Amino acid sequence: MERLVERLEKAVERLEMVCQRPGMCEDGSSKGVAQYVQAFDALLAGAVAEYIKISKEVGGDVQKHAEMVHAGLMSERALLVMASQHQQPAENAFSSLLKPISEQIQVVQNFREKNRGSKLFNHLSAVSESIPALGWVAMAPKPAPYVKEMTDAAMFYTNRILKEYKDVDKKHVDWVKAYLSIWTELQAYIKEYHTTGLTWSKTGPVATEGSKSPSAPQAGAAPPPPGPPPPPAPAPTSSSTDDSASRSALFAQINRGEGITSGLRHVSDDMKTHKNPALKNQGGPVRSGPKPFTAPKPSCNANNPSPKTSPKAPALLELEGKKWRVENQENASNLVISDTELKQVAYVFKCTNSTLQIKGKINSITLDNCKKLGLVFDDVVGIVEIINSRDVKVQVMGKVPTISINKTDGCHVYLSKNSLDCEIVSAKSSEMNVLIPTEGGDFTEFPVPEQFKTVWNGQKLVTTVTEIAG
C-alpha cells in the first residue's frame, strides 16, 4: 500500500509538470492518448490518490477497501483506453468487456458483508453502497445521473461518519470529503466526455473480448499505478444487499433498447403448427435447441450426504472494546445488557423474534437486519438507528434525542414522558407508528406519514404531507 501511494504521488507530480507545458493538457491528441483518457488519468492522480492516501492513514479495513476500489477504477480505465481505440462492439461482446468491472464491484461489496463487525463498518458501507457507480459505462443515455444516484446512496453512512468523528478525529472527516470528491469529479468528467454514454472511436477495429489496450498511458500523461490483484469474491451473505448486488452483476444488460430482440430467430409460416398441420402429426418434439431448465428433485436416499448449506453464524452477546455486539440471536426473550458505560455503543445485527433490554446510559444503539425484535432501553445520549429491519418495537424508558428509521417496514416507537422532544427521522420506510404516553399510563398511537405531495409554486418545490382518510 505504501508503494501504491508513493506511485500515485509521483503520478500527481508528473501530471502537474505535463500540464505546465503549453497545450499539453488541452490537446487531446498529444502523444496518441485520447483526451478523455488523459482526463481520467487526472482524476486518478488527483481525487483518487487523495482518497487512497487518507485511507492509508485511517488503516485497517478502510485501507484494504481502498485497494479494491482502486482495482475497480483501473479496470474501468482499461475499458476507456480500449473504447478510445476501437469501435463499439456488439452487445454480447460488450457484456464480456464489462465483466472485470462487475466482478470488482462484487469484491468491494462482499468485503463489507464479511466485515460487519468492523469498527469502521460505516466507512465500508459508504463505499459498498456507492461503488456500483463504476457501472456508468453501461448506462445510456444518462450515465451522470446514475453516478449521482449511487453517490446519494452513500450519504446515509457518510453523514454517520461525520457525526461520529466531527469533533473527535478530523482525519475521518477528510476521508469522507476525499471519497465523495471522486464521484463528484467523475460526474463532471462524464458530462464533458461521455454525456449520453461511453464514447467509442469512429475508426479502428471493432472491440472484442480479446482486444488489447495499453495498461499505462504514453509519455506526456501521468501513468496511474497498477492495482493490486483482487481477492476471490465470496458468496453474498446478507439479504440486505440483494438489490445492489443484482444491479452490479446485471448492469451490463441495462438499456439495451431495440437491440434486445436482435438475437431472436424469425419463425416462418411452415414452422408454425397452426399454419402447417403436418407438424402436429409428427411423433417427435417440434422444438429444437436445449431443453428448458427444470430444478433437480431432491434425493430421498438417506445414505446420500445432504446438500451443502452455509454454516449458521454463532449467536453473540459480548462487549468488544467499546461496542456491545448482539448478533444472530433467535427466539431469545430475555437478552439483557446491564453493565453499561456512557462511552459504549450497541450494535444489534440479524436478531429474530427476540427481546433485548439495555440498562443504564449508553452512547448509541443500532438495529441492523432485525425481524420481530423488541428493544427496551433507559437512556441514549446520541442516536438510535433502525436499518433494514422489519416488525420491530422500540421503547424508551428514559431519554433519547434522535431516532432514525431507514429501509424498515413495520416499526413501533414507544416514547416516555421525558423523551417527547425526540426527533424521529425516517426514509424509505413504511408502517411506522409513534406511541405517546397518556396520563392514565396508556399510549396513544400516531402514524408517521409515508405519502407526500410535491408541487412547483413558481420559485421552488413545496412538499406537504398527503392525508389519507382511513
* Ramachandran class of 437: left when φ > 0, alpha when ψ lies in -120 to 50, beta otherwise: beta
Q: Please check whether residues 45 and 183 belong to one and the same domain.
A: yes
Taking only Cα atoms into account, the Rg of the chain, rounded to an integer number of angstroms, comes to 27
180 within a domain of the structure (yes/no): yes
Q: What is the pTM of this model?
A: 0.47
Taking CA atoms, 310 is separated from 346, 405, 451, in Å, by 27, 30, 40
CA dihedral of residues 446, 450, 455, 459 (deg, nearest 10): 80
The cell numbers describing 281, all together, are 402429426
Taking the CB of residue 200, how many other CB atoms lie within 10 A of it?
Answer: 18
Q: Please check whether residues 40 and 188 belong to one and the same domain.
A: yes
CB-based burial label for 188 (10 Å; 0-12, 13-18, 19+): middle
For residues 83 and 201, the answer to whether their CB atoms sit within 8 Å is yes
> 463 by DSSP, 3-state: which?
strand
pLDDT (0 to 100) of residue 208:
82
Q: Which residues pair with 453 in a beta bridge?
A: 464
Is beta strand 430-437 parallel, antiparallel or unpaired with respect to 443-447? Answer: antiparallel
| Distance (Å, whole) CA 68 – CA 414 | 43
- Domain containing residue 67: CATH number: 1.25.40.330
233 within a domain of the structure (yes/no): no
For residues 36 and 190, the answer to whether their CB atoms sit within 8 Å is no
User: Where a domain ends, among 194, 226, 244?
Assistant: 194
> Total domain count for the chain?
2
User: Where a domain ends, among 173, 194, 215?
Assistant: 194
pLDDT (0 to 100) of residue 207:
86
- Domain containing residue 395: CATH number: 2.160.20.70
Range of the domain at 185: 33-194
72 within a domain of the structure (yes/no): yes
Q: Please check whether residues 47 and 190 belong to one and the same domain.
A: yes
- Spell out the per-residue pLDDT of the chain, length 470, in tens: 566 556 656 655 555 544 444 333 433 344 568 999 999 999 999 999 999 999 999 999 999 999 999 999 999 999 999 999 999 998 888 888 999 999 999 999 999 999 989 999 999 999 999 999 999 999 988 899 999 989 988 888 999 999 999 888 999 999 999 999 999 999 999 999 999 999 999 988 998 876 654 444 433 344 444 444 444 444 444 444 455 545 544 554 544 445 555 555 566 666 666 566 665 555 444 444 444 444 444 444 444 444 455 577 889 999 988 999 999 999 998 899 988 999 999 999 999 999 999 999 999 999 999 999 999 999 999 999 999 999 999 999 999 999 999 999 999 999 999 999 999 999 989 999 999 999 888 899 999 998 888 999 898 899 898 765 33
pLDDT (0 to 100) of residue 72:
94
375 within a domain of the structure (yes/no): yes
User: Where a domain ends, among 194, 217, 247?
Assistant: 194
Q: Please check whether residues 41 and 186 belong to one and the same domain.
A: yes
252 within a domain of the structure (yes/no): no
pLDDT (0 to 100) of residue 339:
87
Q: Please check whether residues 42 and 183 belong to one and the same domain.
A: yes
78 within a domain of the structure (yes/no): yes
| Distance (Å, whole) CA 69 – CA 323 | 28
14 within a domain of the structure (yes/no): no
253 within a domain of the structure (yes/no): no
For residues 86 and 229, the answer to whether their CB atoms sit within 8 Å is no
For residues 370 and 389, the answer to whether their CB atoms sit within 8 Å is yes
Q: Cα 117 vs. chain centroid, distance in angstroms?
A: 18
